[in-house]
Amino acid sequence: MKSISITLFLVFSICSFSFGQDLVYKPVNPAFGGDTFNYQWLLSSAEAQNKFTDPTDSRDQRSDVERFTENLNNQLLSQISRTLFTEQFGEGGLTEGTYNFGSLFIEIFPSGEGLVINILDTSTGDQSQVIIPN
């Protein structure tokens, strides 16, 4: 009995001298209130773990010949469309009326908002409307 009471006395005396503290959460991420010096470390860690690649990076891997060919094609198509536009609408530009370009049906008319251009693709049924403000 003496040994139990001595043991209990030692346990209670040790417990009375122990101190506790409050647990406080401090976020690491600066976006949630953490230290701003953690930003660079978090960013580099995330980039190191990122296994995804940007699909637009393949465009930068084209050769000079491929870029030149694409640029030439764009200029050629632009010149053809300018010529067709001038032949269809004349030098004055867009005028009221309805026009057909293959499967495209184009209707041009003025409204209170400005010049309205309705474009209908008769093969697919897709529609688009362009309003040019006054």
Higher-pLDDT residue of 66, 12: 66
State which of 2-6, 9-13, 73-77, 97-101 shows the largest mean pLDDT: 73-77
- What phi and psi, each to the nearest 5 degrees, are found at residue 89? -105, -10
67-124, pLDDT tens digit by residue?
Answer: 889 999 999 889 888 887 787 777 777 778 888 878 888 898 989 888 888 999 999 9
* pLDDT, position 56: 66
Domain ranges of the chain: 92-133
96-112, pLDDT tens digit by residue?
Answer: 888 887 888 889 898 98
d(CA 86, CA 91): 6
pTM summary value: 0.40
* pLDDT, position 35: 86
d(CA 106, CA 100): 6
